[in-house]
Structure 1
C-alpha cells in the first residue's frame, strides 16, 4: 500500500519527509516481523537495565540492529539514536530515533501491546514517524504538515470535550521514587476524569490518543525515542503535545490531548505537580 494513499497532494517541501517516512515504514514492518517470529520461537535471554523491572531481550537488540542496518544502507550519512545501542554518528542533518520494542514487559509476558517506533528528525525537528503494533500489525504514521494516518485512514483524535468523562492513558517509570510520585498523581487525577488506562507502551498510547481510542495521554520520565514518533502522530491528528507550564514535551512530561481537553487536563496535572517526579 502507498502510505500517501488518501492524501490529495504533497507539497514539494514535504516530499523529503515522505521519503523518510517510507523508509521508516519499511524498516518498522521488517523489524516487527522479526520480533514476532522470535516471540513465536521463545523469548530467549532476558536482561535488565536501569532497575530489576526494566527489561531488555535479545529481540530488542536484534530488531534495533536490523533497523539500524536498513537506515545505514539507505542513508549512510544520517545519525541514529537507538534505545539499546546508543548514538551512531553521522554528518547529515537527519537524526533517527529508534525504539525497537516499546513495551518490552508486555512482549515478555505475551500481553500483546508492544510496538516498533521510528522517528526522523531534521535539524532537531521531528518530520516523520511510524509506530507499528507488532502483535496486531496495526500501523500509524505521520509527516509534519501531512496529517496522521492509521493505514489509509486519516486520524482526528477524540471528540470528547468534558474532562469528567475523558478516558486518559498514562504509564509509569522504573525507578521506585518516580513510581510513587506517579501513583500519587493518578490518585489526585482520578476523581476528575472517567478513568485511567495503563497499557504499557507510550508510543502506542500516543497513537491510541491520535485515533480517539483514548481521549488523552500523559506521562513523565519518557525518553525521546519513546514519544518522538507517537508525539508527531498525535500532533498531526490535531492534539496539543507539550510539557507543562509552557515547556515542550520531554523527559519531565509528555501531555497529548485534543484542544477541548488540553486546558483542563493541563491545569489538573500542573496543580498535582505531575512533572516533578
Structure 2
C-alpha cells in the first residue's frame, strides 16, 4: 500500500546522485504500465456499468488507482525517493540531492471520461528542485515523449526542436481553462482579445500533451494559468529541451500564475501580448 502520513507519500530509504538517464529509464517503465492500467480501467468501466455508480466515480477511481500503482512501483524500483502526486499530495521539493517524483496519473480526465484520445500519464524526476527527467505517455494512443535535462527531447526516438514560426500573427496557440466559473469568464475575455492577433487557438484539455505538442511543433506555442506542478513538470521539460522558452510572465518562473512555452523567436512578442490582455489576471 501507499504510505501517506501527513500528506507526504514516502517510498522507503535514500539513494543519492542518479544520472538523469537512469531516472528516465525508470520513468518510462513505470509510465508505460500506468498508461496500460488507465486504458484498461476505462474499457472495463464502459463495458461493465454495474461496477460503477457514476461516470465521475470511474475517473476518480482510475486516477487514484493509477497513482497508487506508480507510487508502489517507484517504491520497488527507487527506495528512498519521495513522490508528489495529484491525488495523494506529497513531499515538498528538497535540496539534499534526493529525488522527488512528480506524477499526474491521468492528465486530461474530462477527455478520459468522454473517451477522447487526449489523456496521459505524466511522470517527472526532480533533484534539488530541478526537473531532470520526464516522460509523457498518451494512454489512449501510446505516443510517448521523453526528455532529460541537457539531453534533448524526443518523441519515440525522434529529436524534437519546436516550431520554426517567427511571427505571432501566424502562430497556432494552445491553451487551457480552469474549472472555476469566474476564472473561465476571465479566460474567455482574454481569448476574445487574443484571437484577432494569432492564426488560431486550440484547446485539447491536457496540459502535459499540449506542452509536448508545442515541443514537436504541432502547436507553435502554449500558455495557461492555474497549472499545478504535476500538470507541467514532465511536459515542461520536454518543451524546454526542444528549445522552447518555458517561463511565467515578467521573468517569474512558470507556475500557477502563468506558464508560457514558445520558441525564442516569438516568446517576447507573445509574452508582451499576454501581459497586455491580462492573461495572468482574474481569479
- Partner residue, 2:74: 71
Select the residue among 214, 222, 230 that pairs with 1:217.
222
* Distance change (3 Å), C-alpha of 1:46 and 1:253: farther
Query: Offset at 1:272?
Result: 1.1
Aligned to 2:40: 37
Partner residue of 2:141? Answer: 136
Query: Are 1:106 and 2:114 matched, yes or no?
Result: no
Give the deviation of 1:57 after TM superposition: 2.0
Could you tell me which residue of structure 2 aligns to residue 80 of structure 1?
83
Counterpart residue number, 2:23? 20
Q: Does the Cα contact within 8 Å between 1:46 and 1:56 map onto a contact in 2?
A: no
Report deviation, 1:148: 0.2
**Using a 3 Å threshold, how does the CA distance of structure 1 residues 234 and 249 change in structure 2: closer, same or farther?**
same
Contact 1:18 1:128 in 2 (8 A): yes
Report how far residue 276 of structure 1 moved: 1.5
TM-score, normalised relative to structure 1 = 0.89
| Partner residue in 2 for 1:245 | 250
Report the aligned-residue RMSD: 1.9
Partner in structure 1 of residue 156 of structure 2: 151
Counterpart for residue 260 of structure 2: 255
- 2:259 and 2:91 map into 1 onto residues whose CA distance is 26
Deviations 1:23-82 (A, max 9, x none): 010110000001111111125455869xxxxx9421111110110001111112111011
Is contact 1:46-1:57 (8 Å) kept? no
SS at 1:245's partner residue? coil
**2:243 is aligned with 1:234:** no
Other-structure match for 1:58: 61
CA distance in 2, matches of 1:92, 1:165: 43
Q: TM-score, with normalisation over the residues of structure 2? A: 0.88
Instruction: Give the superposition deviation at 1:98.
Output: 0.4
User: What is the distance in 1 between the residues matched to 2:54 and 2:228?
Assistant: 21
Q: Answer yes or no: is the 8 Å Cα contact 1:241–1:249 preserved in 2.
A: yes
1:101 & 1:222 partners in 2: Cα distance? 14
- In structure 2, list runs of 5 or more residues that go unmatched: 1-16, 47-51
Aligned match of 2:121: 116
Runs of 4+ in structure 1 deviating by more than 2 angstroms, as ranges, are 43-49, 88-92
